[in-house]
Structure 1
């Protein structure tokens, strides 16, 4: 039998995971990436002697049994990373909280920070950890949601254990409901802390976050959080090399402009007019890109859910990339931290920042004595539509973000060598995110689990992966969707 030819559109982590697994399985794979860098939102860029992590920075899923560990072991990949005992610091005006990897230590530190709610916090986390453990047991076999075929239904049913019945009442609840159950909704600073964890991983806050996805997000750092030397682009580079070792063609600088179907095959045309044919197409682009990517008659055959969400913006991000002289940084400057604007109440528009600085010894990112820092905040893209709005917002938000950092680190201006702002157009221009959308859809009750978008489409052999489809954003989520494409095409599983 001839090898099936597969084209992967988009060289982000999800598409590279699918492409590397499929090429190892004997498929004839071509991966096309529009930019000059692999990794998508987990990519990098270089300025002078400094290398900046463009988006995702915190390494997850590398623990034994984690999705990256399983994929990398399957492919014979290793990455240089070390596990964090203290995942991050969270600074809320005068209060500094520490997210400890050890569950017991984490709960105890929060009880000390909020002594009036010590009993309630213990009960809340007991619920979180118990529910998350049950879900992880279910997810070990990586079942596919939402169910589209008999085989997918069978695989889900055979993954279920009697204990999972106890989760059914939680399908339509939110993390906010769990906070209220334990009377923690009254503790505004604790809710603000929880919301800070959820917005960065679930793209929403506790009042709207689906409970079953939310408890996984609150528990996942305890399973393992890692600093990856150089940055998460290392995942992408290793996946590309694995794909190439197994015969895949990997092509940078090829922006796909059209996808059409001719008979039983697909034609994929790039911006240079080069046309490639394939039996399967895996589209690792946001669903918002599909309308302009696919020929109209083909696009109209997609599900109503995909077509509806292709018109919806998700969050955007404003990012600052800085090179720093570490002589002016405090010795205890955390590798990862969240800073809350001391006057802000929300978790967007510069009121909540996520900071990731290169390790003191990471020579991949900066010369000795220097560091690079990535700072990001969620933004509402509706406020960036006109050029006047855009230019004004970019300037105002840059200064607001810097002011928040100065509040906690007054000497930061002495440390700063260069600043490169990354506003929505930068995300549209480089990783080719339509309109600057990042992070995927918020994991609300109407966008998660059985209400997610499937990697499977009504078009035979046309697949989706990436942060638009189940299980969502982050390198863990997109890798699972890439695995689902591999599994659905070949019927194969990862080695245990």
Structure 2
């Protein structure tokens, strides 16, 4: 039997970050993962032309005080990142909206494309966004607040939220000024943008989450080598602090024992004092003997994903694109140009209902074919240019693909969908009551993506120190 201080189940980005942070604190850490590689829904797979990002993932949250910046600094990670400005290029009805990092430039884009003068509104919302990120960092056991933590929200940099309670009790649509709501094109633009980050549109999205979703492209970066680089760098950090990673080791059983937990995988038996789960709570409960942890997760989206590669004499420089079409929108994430290669790899995703992909039958294959045609039509219309010599489809992924490789129920991706501030209490707490069980990942923090799961990893360490 192998013994450790902390064992992490699941090497998604949240699990990698948690394992690295706990190991850095001096804990003996083991990380067990059923797959042969790390990263989960934000991971990678290798092909001859290079590594593909599994999901159309962006790297955000790198401003001072934001979760990704904190993790990188705390672990002293050495990665080559560059800000993307514009963060996202949106193609809509023949128009191009550049989501610039500068507020004035962004408001000019909105004015030129939607004839709305909203700089003063965006400036006010930006203050809210800064305060929201500070407030989200306050709870050590999100979403629950201790009395001392509640009092800290009255400090200067977050109390603006307390004076604007409509942020938490109105939808983003109702929160927007009338002149914004009267522009149906602007609302449609906002709706598709919010789908990327909040999994829903403006009429159901709480205002505070809508503001976070609107501004996240202003804090968007690319990473040399894609998500593989981030995953491998976190693996290196874990190992450099004495941690060990066990790939192809699916967890089969978790038993509460005196002083900790027994973890049974296909290959090993472990004993740990602290157990950190980076897998679906639904799956965790099937492994845990004895009382489990309930979560009313509600409906969660799935994704269709296309993996393309192009050969171009001149690379595509803007790496993140959202293309509107008759079915909604597609999100394109393009690999950074490499000095010694003319190849760029592209991951394209779109939301789908997981219930439409329950089995591999004729309907399933037809859906894949339709999605491939849709992706190529969008690429050829908006991104193809005279410098691109070849466009090749590597493969198509569906919810069943994600189910197979990540183990998430029905292949669901992204976080929980929140319709009000009260629905945050559907999230798993970062630490279980009266037990040394911790939860990290997008089932534990609002929103989705690396920024959210990194915050949950930071919270797990804060809980251990309490």
Q: What TM-score, normalized by structure 2, do the two folds share?
A: 0.91
Deviation of the 1:397 alpha carbon: 2.2
Which of 435, 453, 462 is residue 460 of structure 1 equivalent to? 435
- 1:199 equivalenced with 2:176 (yes/no): no
Which of 257, 276, 284 is residue 252 of structure 2 equivalent to? 257
For the residues of structure 1 that align with 2:68 and 2:391, how far apart are their CA atoms? Answer: 34
Residue 91 of structure 2 aligns with which residue? 91
Deviation of the 1:131 alpha carbon: 1.8
Give runs of aligned pairs for residues 338-487 of structure 1, distance below 5 A: 338-341=322-325, 343-344=326-327, 351-360=328-337, 362=338, 368-388=341-361, 389-409=363-383, 415-445=390-420, 448-458=423-433, 460-487=435-462
Q: Deviations over 1:408-439 (max 9, x none)?
A: 24669962134211111211122332211111
Give runs of aligned pairs for residues 203-352 of structure 1, distance below 5 A: 203-222=199-218, 224-272=219-267, 274-295=268-289, 297-299=290-292, 302-303=293-294, 306=295, 308-309=296-297, 312-327=298-313, 334-341=318-325, 343-344=326-327, 351-352=328-329
Deviation of the 1:196 alpha carbon: 2.0
SS across alignment from 2:291: helix
Q: Deviations over 1:444-496 (max 9, x none)?
A: 216754553322224611111101112342101001111111111133xxxxx
Residue 494 of structure 1 aligns with which residue? none
Q: Is the 2:103–2:119 Cα contact (8 Å) retained in structure 1? A: no
1:28–1:293 Cα change, 3 Å: same
For the residues of structure 1 that align with 2:48 and 2:269, how far apart are their CA atoms? Answer: 36
Give runs of aligned pairs for residues 2-21 of structure 1, distance below 5 A: 5-21=5-21
For the residues of structure 2 that align with 1:232 and 1:313, how far apart are their CA atoms? Answer: 27
For the residues of structure 2 that align with 1:172 and 1:418, how far apart are their CA atoms? Answer: 44
Q: Deviations over 1:281-328 (max 9, x none)?
A: 110012232233323x232xx24xx2x33xx4411110001111114x
SS across alignment from 1:86: coil
Residue 82 of structure 1 aligns with which residue? 82
For the residues of structure 1 that align with 2:140 and 2:464, how far apart are their CA atoms? Answer: 15
SS across alignment from 1:177: helix
For the residues of structure 2 that align with 1:214 and 1:104, how far apart are their CA atoms? Answer: 19
1:447–1:43 Cα change, 3 Å: farther
Q: How many residues align?
A: 459
| Structure 1 residue runs without a partner (length 5+) | 345-350, 492-496
SS across alignment from 1:415: strand
For the residues of structure 1 that align with 2:69 and 2:384, how far apart are their CA atoms? Answer: 40
| Structure 2 residue runs without a partner (length 5+) | none
Q: Is the 1:260–1:298 Cα contact (8 Å) retained in structure 2? A: no
Q: Is the 1:196–1:205 Cα contact (8 Å) retained in structure 2? A: yes
Q: Is the 2:11–2:33 Cα contact (8 Å) retained in structure 1? A: yes
